[in-house]
Amino acid sequence: MNSGMDDTVVVITGASSGIGAALAELLAARGAALALVARRADALGEVAARCGEKAFAIPADVSHRDEVRRVVAGALERFGRIDVWVNNVGQGISCLPSQLTDEDIDQVMQVNVKSALYGMQEVLPHFQERGRGHVINISSMLGRMPFAVIRSAYCGAKHFLNALTATFRAEVQGTHPDIQFSIVSPGVVQTDFGLNALHGGPDSRSFPDAQSAEEVAQVIAGVIESRNPDVYTRAGAHDRVVSYYDTLAVDP
């Protein structure tokens, strides 16, 4: 049964698996029109097929600006407008901070920060022309609390993404208050994230407190409807972040 998303046009990057694929299938069931983006054309096509005739696959590598520009053009050609843009592409890295190389930092920033920046910048003129739009950036609890030492550079990238999202929101809403920029912060999710990390890593599914991709997708779908600016995917996460800094910060 559709639920309030008929004719809502949503672009989802990183849609070939994990959170992106789960979100695509959930939104399709609710009647949304979808432009699905990922590098792996075969896997992406399978997700699009499961989502039905209102889903459109656009194979692209969004860590390159020209590819993002092509996605915007393709989605507009197919659907005539974009209502929501979900920056879901991300990659972890397993490396202690003392061992990080220039190449490690460059790769993590390119995938986790620049891909989102390109999405925000390239869809912005369309949103400004319409006077309304919504960008959702998928961050991480590690973007709030850098407690996983082996994920050092990823923590930094997600902190950067959070700051970029907040400042982008402040800038754009100064003239276009109906354009929203939201952050969604999951914890560990049962996907291939850990296995696909640079330099390898533990399987995210092996952690006992990992959420399912479907559970995270439900939260993201709720953000599309609520347009809340900053949302965690698990109850109690906000209090956990506050407690983390309470144990560290000391006033002069």
Contacts of 116 (CB under 8 A, 6+ apart): 87, 89, 137, 161, 164, 165
Beta bridge mates, 184? 138, 231
pLDDT given at position 206: 83
Range of the domain at 193: 9-245
| Tens digit of each residue's pLDDT (9 = 90 or more) over 25-40 | 999 999 999 999 999 9
Residue 177: pLDDT above 70? yes
List b or e across 90-125, with b for residues whose CB sees 16 or more CB atoms inside 10 angstroms.
bbbbbbeeeeeeeebbebbbebbbbbbbbbbebbbe
- 223 lies in some domain: yes
Contact 104, 95 (CB under 8 A): yes
* Structure confidence at residue 3 as a pLDDT band (50, 70, 90): low
d(CA 217, CA 204): 17
* Strand ranges (E), the chain: 9-13, 33-38, 55-59, 84-87, 133-138, 179-185, 230-232
pLDDT digits (tens, 9 = 90+) for 118-170: 999 999 999 999 999 999 999 999 999 999 999 999 999 999 999 999 999 99
Do the domain assignments include residue 124?
yes
Domain assignment present for 214: yes
Residue 171 included in any domain: yes
Tell me whether residue 1 is in a domain: no
CA distances (Å), origin 87, targets 136, 250, 251: 6, 35, 36
Q: Residue 227 is encoded by which pair of tokens?
A: 């347009």
Is residue 104 a part of any domain in this protein? yes
Q: Among 154, 232, 244, 245, which one carries the catalytic annotation?
A: 154
Give the CATH number of the domain where residue 130 resides: 3.40.50.720
Identify whether 154 is a catalytic site residue.
yes
Nearby residues of 150 by Cβ (< 8 Å), 6 or more positions away: 94, 95, 96, 201
Residue 251 covered by a domain: no
Upper half-sphere CA count for residue 127 (Cβ side, 13 Å): 26
pLDDT (0 to 100) of residue 201: 85
In a domain, 250, yes or no: no
Number of compact structural domains in the chain = 1
